Amino acid sequence: MQVWTVSEPGVAADAAQAALLGMIPHLGSSGFRSQALAAINLGLPSGSWSVYRIRRDAPPVCYLSGSHARPDTTPACLHAYRTWLYRHDRTFEALADARQPLQALHLTAADVPDARHRHAIYERHGLRERLSVASSFPDDSILSVNLYRHADQPGFAERELELFSRLAPGLLAMVARQIELCEPVASVPAGLPPERLRELLLQLAPSLPQRELDVCVRLLAGMSHDGIACDLGISATTVKTYRNRAYARFGIHHNNELFALVLQRSGRGG
């Protein structure tokens, strides 16, 4: 395993510039996750990627994931990771302990210390290596952008690690901006836990199916469509289908209307 501090870039490599320029037109769009990965592949071939925030003693929040030119196994990986494996993941400890704002990490499947983590994610889904750029926050959380090489791909070469160092600051900034643009503009009060949200939604629509309920609870918690897809192990398109069906039952069309309905039902509306 290698861990190093990412310095401020000077003159970026052509491939890094091309990747970042390829992402810019798609910022704020639903196609960002696939188009950004395609742009990264212009100079740094990667079979798949994921973006998530890690917190101590809490399930990670996934913002987006996807694969390039291969079947997408990232929802299954992230669902297993968020359900229980995150409790055993020690691969970010070096980043969490280091007092640096921006760091990169390279590890192979053999570097993953926990056998359950290594088998359920890397061996089961044919992942060979991971490159991560991560930034620490005052609340001890870490935002991580992760690129994966698969078993049918060669390992990352030294020149590619150097390219990643040049790409990493812009990549993380671009992803952070995408998260800001795509997060819901409204949120429910912190005093309403998921269990209470479920109760309120079922009061509004007693026949609401489980999957539609799952999606609505996560929307109310502030998760993006891509994040919900990662969490539930389904596609973002399927998330939107469940959302639309639920909104039809409620007689609404927009996220803000859902927030307003739940706040009114809870007695906290304006």
How many whole angstroms separate alpha carbon 93 and alpha carbon 97?
6
- The pLDDT of residue 169 is 93
* Structural domains counted in the chain: 2
Same domain as 55, residue 159: yes
**188 located within any domain:** no
Nearest alpha carbon to residue 130 among 65, 197, 201: 65
Helices of type H across 24-107: 32-40, 74-83, 93-97
Range of the domain at 200: 194-266
**147 located within any domain:** yes
Q: What is the pTM of this model?
A: 0.74
How many whole angstroms separate alpha carbon 123 and alpha carbon 110?
10
What percent of the chain is helix, strand and coil (3-state, nearest 5)? 50, 20, 30
- The pLDDT of residue 29 is 85
How many whole angstroms separate alpha carbon 205 and alpha carbon 200?
9
Could you give the dihedral angle defined by the CA atoms of residues 195, 188, 259 and 241, in that order, rounded to the nearest 10 degrees?
-60
Same domain as 138, residue 17: yes
Same domain as 95, residue 10: yes
Helices of type H across the chain: 14-23, 32-40, 74-83, 93-97, 115-117, 158-182, 194-204, 210-220, 225-232, 236-250, 255-266
Q: What is the pLDDT along the chain (270 residues), one digit of tens a residue?
A: 877 676 554 444 588 888 999 999 999 887 898 999 999 998 999 999 999 888 777 778 788 889 999 999 988 888 888 888 888 888 887 765 555 678 899 999 999 999 999 999 999 999 999 999 998 877 778 899 999 999 999 999 999 999 999 999 999 999 988 888 875 544 555 457 888 899 999 999 999 999 999 999 988 887 888 878 878 888 888 999 999 999 999 988 888 788 888 888 876 544
Q: Which amino acid is at 258?
A: L
Q: Please name the residue that has the structure tokens 């990643």.
A: 164
Burial class (CB in 10 A: 0-12, 13-18, 19+), 30: middle
User: What CATH number is associated with residue 148?
Assistant: 3.30.450.80
Q: Please name the residue that has the structure tokens 């302990």.
A: 97
How many whole angstroms separate alpha carbon 209 and alpha carbon 191?
25
Among 124, 154, 182, identify where a domain stops. Answer: 182
Among 182, 206, 235, identify where a domain stops. Answer: 182
Strand partners, 147: 49, 131
**14 located within any domain:** yes
**247 located within any domain:** yes
**238 located within any domain:** yes
Among 148, 182, 216, identify where a domain stops. Answer: 182
Can you say whether residue 253 is alpha, beta or left, with left for phi > 0 and alpha for psi between -120 and 50 degrees? alpha
Biggest CA-to-CA distance, the chain: 59
Same domain as 168, residue 198: no
User: What CATH number is associated with residue 209?
Assistant: 1.10.10.10
**189 located within any domain:** no
Cα–Cα–Cα angle for 77, 37, 144, rounded to 5 degrees: 55
Please check whether residue 37 is in contact with residue 68, taking contact to mean a CB–CB distance below 8 angstroms: yes
Same domain as 257, residue 143: no
Same domain as 202, residue 95: no
- The pLDDT of residue 242 is 96
